[in-house]
Structure formats: structure tokens, C-alpha cells
């Protein structure tokens, strides 16, 4: 009995520092922002903080920029399956007999660790609309009017998606590489003996076997896509004409450019709700394609 | 042709394809470094000169010794990243041990809360943290950056995963011997979990070093700027000085590239073992 009590106490002592920090820096601010979402607070200079009920939420319904940011954010999600897909292909390549495996693996993974601002600037020059090497290459290949990339409302988001895929792929690749090594040999060999072609082995043996990991990567990737900030803020700041404005940027802009801190909290709450809905959606969708043994 | 010969050719072809793909991955980095040694007119010369004809240190000199001096930003970033990482590893490994290895009431509920909080986008915390930091008098100080960094949720999650994979007998045997949890944590778990802890030290350091948004929101004085903010500032001040911009960007990634080169094995294996197994 006494031992049990000591055990309890030890448990609390171990988690206590972390719990205090998480409460102060995550939980309280989170609850606080739920409250702020119902106020008209305009930042430290605007004195009178009033509760305005659902006014902010009503405003949100008719805020064209908010809905544009939602649409943009969903479009931006496209980089998640791309990055998971490319990550899988690269991992499959590295999982075969290949020279320089470690060096290759390192070069595929490195971008994942690099500062989004630094690398964003490098991509900005590469994609420079008139003089950038990418467009000069396209022109020399005979493309008459190459896309203006980050400078065009039409191509800015696809460009951002390319950069995001490039940066997030390494993580997916590393995880796939580890799981691929665990696919049991006898399963693949059994399929081959039954006359399966190599793509059929991938389709009917490998993919189902690794599907729980694919699912995990898609869920994490989606969550991160709704939290992205640095790279887009650095390369376009949400422009041109809001074409790359995603929700995290809109929250920041509303709070710290327009100082509408109450309304910014409302948008942030909606962002949280959207992340939650997408996660649930994926959770329920998984039974259609994820296999657990 | 023999089976072996065919295999070798296949291996060569695959290697070539993979090298081509890897080149695409590192071109933006190579471009960054190469441009930082160029003169302005040479930047957009086509075909691209990957090796500048007359490499110059001019841009790097401007970054390190110019009006916006990176030495200052480096000092600030280093201070924040080191303090934040030390805290994150200390508190994080303790919490991970508690959640993975000690039975106590409310454990699952508390851990469930952590999982829920992992979904919270950091932007939702901007405004309330801004207000709280203002009240506490730490807005526009480094405290506003390294204090929250000391409490990592994702780190607790991953380290817990790893602690769960260590054999159960380890704890049971020691408990029967009368060793308390604190002795066990210090004498047995920390040494065993060293690779994981090193991994998270590296990752936390990287995240803290690259943290741009919190610095953007919570710092005003240029004297307090961290490297990503300084980098951004450089762009605002000298918008079309491309070699300068790339030299600043290069300066900002050096510590991360070094850490990666030395800790590669740890990072990769640590990430894998805590997210795949367990």
C-alpha cells in the first residue's frame, strides 16, 4: 500500500514540470483564445474590451478573405499526398541495391532540417520570373511564355506546393525506408511464386503492409499543412492578391497587422476546428484502405 | 549476359536515377552557397555558373561585419536554442519516463490531453501569449522565446514511444531491488535512452534555431533579433542584393548543416525508432 502511494507520487513528480509548462504555455493560452474570440479586442492600445457574443463568427461567414484562405489551405494540402508519394518512391529506390546509399539518403533528408526562411529565399531566386535559372532554362527549351511562378496569382500556389513538397519529403522518405525493410520477405516471395509481376507485388503486398505508416504520415502531414507559416510568409507573404494566403498567415495578419486581436482569435479557433475535422475525416476514412494485422 | 552482370547494370542505372533525384534536392542549397560568392551581375548569368568565375567574399563580409551584424543574431539564437533545448530535454525526458513507466492515477487522461494539444496550431496561441507575456513583462525579451521551447509536447510523445520499447523487466527487477524511480531513471534509463535523447536534443535545437514565427510575433528590438528575423530584415534592407541575401541565408544554415553532418546517424535512427516501432 505504501509502495503504491510512493509510486503514485513518483509519477506525479516526473510529469509535474512538463505539466506546469504545458498548462502555462499551451493550455491556458488555448482556453484564453476561446474567450477572446467573443470579444472585439483591438490590442493593447484599444482600451475597451467588450464581449460581442457571436458577432465575430457572423462576420467570419461573410468574410471573403477568410473563405479564400480556407480554399487556399485546402489546395495547399495537395503537397501532403505528393510528399508522401515521392517519399515512398525515393525510399523504394534506396531500398534496392544502389551505390552510395548513405550519401543519397542524407541529401534527400537534409532539406527537412533547413530553415524555411533561408531556403525560401533561395527558391525565390531560382523561380525569379524574368531572370531566374528555371525560366531561363524553360525559354531556352522553347517555352514562349514561361509561368511567372511566385509573381503570378495563378502559379504562386502551385509553386509554394512544389517548395513544400521538396522540404517535407525527406521525413516521409526516412520513415518509409525503415518500414520497407520490415516487409517480410516470405510474403513477397509467395506472391512471386504465384506469378505476380513486380508492380503487383508492390500493389498487393507492400502497400497494404505499410498502410498504417502511410496513414500516420498523411495525418501528421495534414496537421502540419494547417500550421505552416514560415516558408510562405518568407516567399510571398500570402500574395500576390492573397493567392497564397493560408489560414495561419491570415491569423497573423489580422492580429499583428490590423490589430484585430479578437477577430484573429475567432479565425484561429476555426482553424483548430478545421484541423480537428480533417483528422476525424481521415480517421474514419482509414478503414477503407488501412490494414492492421 | 550473366545474372550478376545484369544485376550490376540495374544497380548502376538505379544509382544514376537516384543521383539525379538527389541533385534536385540539393540544388537550392548549392545555388544558395554558390550565389553567395558571386557578384551581382553574375547571379543570373545563363547558363548558370555553379562555380563563380571570380569568387568574392564581399557578400559574406557584409553579412558578418556590416550594419546588420550576424554575430549578434547568432548570439541571440544560440542562447535561445541552447536554453530551450536543455529545458526541453530535461523536462521532456522526465515526463516521457513518467508517462511510459510509472503507474499513477489520471495518467492516460493527462497523456490524452497532450495528444489533443499536438493538434493545436501554434497560431492560435499568438494573441493570448502576446497578452500574457505583456502582463508578465517578458514580451520583447528572449524569455518569451526560450521558456515555451522548454516544454515540448512532440518530444514527450516521441520519447515516451521509445521508453515503451525498452524491456519491462528492467523496471520490475530494479523496483524489487528497492531502487526508487529517480535512481532508476538516472542510472538505468538515461544511459540506455542516450541515442533518443541526443536525437531530440538535435531536433529541438534545429526547431528552436529555425523558429521564425515566435520571434516575429514576440520580438521588436533589433538588438534581440534571432537569425531568421535577421535574415528577413536583411531582405527588407537590401532587397535586390542577391549575393548578400544568399550569404545571409548561408550563414543561417551553417550550424544546422554541421549538426546534421555529425549527428546524422542519431537523427535518422532516432526518428525511425520512435515513430515506427513501439
Q: Is the pLDDT of residue A142 over 60?
A: yes
Whether residue B99 is found in the same domain as residue B25? no
Q: Is the pLDDT of residue A184 over 70?
A: yes
> Which chain B residue's Cα is nearest to A259?
B127
The C-alpha atoms of residue A175 and residue B268 are separated, in whole angstroms, by 9
Q: What is the CATH number of the domain that holds B90?
A: 1.10.3720.10
Spatial contact of B63 and B244, defined as CB atoms under 8 Å apart: yes
Whether residue B138 is found in the same domain as residue B42? no
The neighbour count for residue A143, using CB atoms within 10 Å, is 11
Spatial contact of A246 and A71, defined as CB atoms under 8 Å apart: no
Per the CB < 8 Å rule, is A121 touching B11? no
Per the CB < 8 Å rule, is B127 touching A90? no
Number of folded domains that form chain B? 2
pLDDT tens-digit readout, A4-27: 677 778 888 899 999 999 999 999
For residue B120, what is the DSSP state?
S
Q: Give the range of the structural domain holding residue B27, as residue numbers without chain letter.
A: 3-56
pLDDT tens-digit readout, A42-66: 877 666 778 888 889 999 999 999 9
pLDDT tens-digit readout, B44-68: 888 888 888 888 998 898 888 887 7
pLDDT of residue B275: 64
Whether residue B22 is found in the same domain as residue B73? no
In A, which residues are within 8 Å of B117 by CB distance? 22, 26-27, 30
Whether residue B42 is found in the same domain as residue B135? no
Whether residue B27 is found in the same domain as residue B66? no
pLDDT tens-digit readout, A236-262: 988 899 999 999 999 999 999 988 889
Whether residue B212 is found in the same domain as residue B125? yes
Q: Is the pLDDT of residue A113 over 80?
A: yes
pLDDT of residue B75: 94
Residues A92-118: what's their mean pLDDT?
90
Whether residue B146 is found in the same domain as residue B88? yes
CATH class, domain A64-119+155-288, is: mainly alpha
Q: Name the nearest CA neighbour of A230 among B194, B213, B132.
A: B213
* Residue B253, all three cell numbers: 544554415
In B, which residues are within 8 Å of A133 by CB distance? 31, 44, 46, 48
Per the CB < 8 Å rule, is A117 touching B212? yes
Indicate the range of A36-45, A193-202, B227-236 predicted with least confidence. A36-45
Give the B window 184-213 contacts with A, CB below 8 Å. 185, 206, 209-210, 212-213
* Residue A144, all three cell numbers: 514562349
Per the CB < 8 Å rule, is B103 touching A265? no
pLDDT of residue A2: 66
Q: Of B13, B29, B56, which residue constitutes the final position of a domain?
A: B56
Write down the mean pLDDT value for chain A. Answer: 90
For residue A51, what is the DSSP state?
B
Residues A69-78: what's their mean pLDDT?
96
| Residue A293's pLDDT band (cuts 50, 70, 90) | low
Whether residue B174 is found in the same domain as residue B231? yes
Spatial contact of B147 and B136, defined as CB atoms under 8 Å apart: no
Instruction: Examine residue B126 and say whether the peptide bond preceding it is cis (omega within 30 degrees of 0).
Output: no
Whether residue B155 is found in the same domain as residue B210? yes
Whether residue B179 is found in the same domain as residue B163? yes
Whether residue B166 is found in the same domain as residue B230? yes
pLDDT of residue B278: 39
Domain borders along chain A are 64-119+155-288
Whether residue B68 is found in the same domain as residue B51? no
What is the sign, positive or negative, of the torsion defined by CA atoms of A117, A123, A125, A128?
Answer: negative
Going from the first residue of chain B to its last (278 residues), give the mean pLDDT of each consecutive group of 10, the final group possibly shorter.
73 91 93 92 86 88 83 94 95 92 86 89 92 92 95 88 79 69 82 85 92 94 92 83 92 92 80 61
pLDDT of residue A12: 87
Amino acid at each position: 500500500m505504501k509502495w503504491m502511494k510512493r509510486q503514485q507520487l513518483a509519477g506525479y513528480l516526473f510529469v509535474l514540470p512538463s505539466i506546469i509548462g504545458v498548462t502555462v504555455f499551451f493550455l491556458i493560452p488555448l482556453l484564453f483564445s476561446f474567450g477572446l474570440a467573443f470579444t472585439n479586442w483591438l490590442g493593447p492600445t484599444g482600451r475597451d474590451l467588450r464581449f460581442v457574443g457571436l458577432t465575430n463568427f457572423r462576420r467570419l461567414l461573410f468574410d471573403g478573405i477568410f473563405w479564400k484562405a480556407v480554399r487556399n489551405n485546402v489546395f495547399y494540402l495537395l503537397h501532403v499526398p505528393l510528399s508522401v508519394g515521392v517519399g515512398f518512391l525515393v525510399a523504394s529506390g534506396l531500398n534496392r541495391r544502389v551505390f552510395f546509399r548513405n550519401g543519397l539518403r542524407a541529401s534527400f533528408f537534409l532539406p527537412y532540417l533547413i530553415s524555411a526562411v533561408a531556403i525560401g529565399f533561395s527558391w525565390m531566386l531560382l523561380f525569379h520570373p524574368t531572370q531566374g535559372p528555371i525560366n531561363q532554362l524553360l525559354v531556352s527549351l522553347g517555352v514562349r511564355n514561361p509561368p511567372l511562378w511566385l509573381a503570378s496569382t495563378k502559379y504562386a500556389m502551385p509553386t509554394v506546393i512544389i517548395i513544400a513538397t521538396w522540404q517535407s519529403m525527406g521525413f516521409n522518405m526516412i520513415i518509409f525506408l525503415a518500414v520497407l525493410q520490415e516487409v517480410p520477405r516470405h510474403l513477397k516471395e509467395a506472391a512471386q511464386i504465384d506469378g505476380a509481376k513486380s508492380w503487383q507485388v508492390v500493389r498487393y503486398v507492400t502497400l497494404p503492409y505499410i498502410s498504417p505508416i502511410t496513414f500516420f504520415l498523411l495525418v501528421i502531414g495534414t496537421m502540419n499543412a494547417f500550421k505552416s507559416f514560415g516558408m510562405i510568409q518568407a516567399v510571398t507573404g500570402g500574395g500576390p492578391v492573397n493567392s497564397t494566403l493560408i489560414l495561419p498567415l491570415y491569423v497573423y495578419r489580422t492580429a499583428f497587422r490590423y490589430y484585430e486581436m479578437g477577430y484573429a482569435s475567432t479565425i484561429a479557433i476555426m482553424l483548430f476546428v478545421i484541423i480537428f475535422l480533417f483528422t476525424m475525416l481521415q480517421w474514419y476514412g482509414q478503414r477503407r484502405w488501412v490494414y492492421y494485422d | 549476359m550473366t545474372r550478376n552482370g545484369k544485376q550490376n547494370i540495374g544497380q548502376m542505372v538505379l544509382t544514376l536515377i537516384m543521383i539525379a533525384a538527389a541533385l534536385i534536392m540539393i540544388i537550392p542549397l548549392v545555388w544558395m552557397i554558390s550565389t553567395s560568392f558571386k557578384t551581382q551581375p553574375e547571379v543570373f548569368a545563363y547558363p548558370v555558373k555553379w562555380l563563380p568565375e571570380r569568387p568574392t567574399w564581399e557578400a559574406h563580409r557584409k553579412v558578418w561585419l556590416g550594419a546588420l551584424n550576424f554575430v549578434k543574431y547568432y548570439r541571440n539564437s544560440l542562447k535561445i536554442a541552447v536554453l530551450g533545448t536543455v529545458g526541453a530535454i530535461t523536462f521532456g525526458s522526465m515526463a516521457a519516463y513518467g508517462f511510459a513507466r510509472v503507474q499513477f492515477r489520471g495518467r492516460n487522461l493527462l497523456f490524452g490531453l497532450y495528444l489533443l494539444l499536438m493538434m493545436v496550431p501554434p497560431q492560435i496561441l499568438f494573441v493570448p501569449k502576446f497578452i500574457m507575456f505583456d502582463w508578465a513583462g517578458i514580451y520583447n525579451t528572449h524569455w518569451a522565446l526560450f521558456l515555451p521551447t522548454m516544454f515540448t509536447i512532440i518530444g514527450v510523445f516521441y520519447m515516451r514511444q521509445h521508453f515503451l520499447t525498452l524491456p519491462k523487466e528492467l523496471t520490475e527487477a530494479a523496483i524489487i531491488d528497492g531502487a526508487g524511480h529517480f535512481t532508476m531513471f538516472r542510472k538505468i534509463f538515461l544511459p540506455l535512452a542516450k541515442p533518443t535523447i541526443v536525437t531530440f536534443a538535435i531536433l529541438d535545437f534545429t526547431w528552436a534555431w529555425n523558429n521564425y514565427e515566435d520571434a516575429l510575433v514576440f520580438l521588436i528590438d533589433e538588438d534581440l533579433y534571432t537569425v531568421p528575423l535577421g535574415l528577413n530584415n536583411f531582405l527588407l534592407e537590401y532587397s535586390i542584393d542577391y549575393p548578400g541575401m544568399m550569404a545571409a541565408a548561408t550563414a543561417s544554415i551553417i550550424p544546422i548543416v554541421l549538426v546534421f553532418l555529425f549527428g546524422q546517424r542519431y537523427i535518422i535512427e532516432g526518428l525511425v525508432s520512435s515513430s515506427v516501432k513501439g
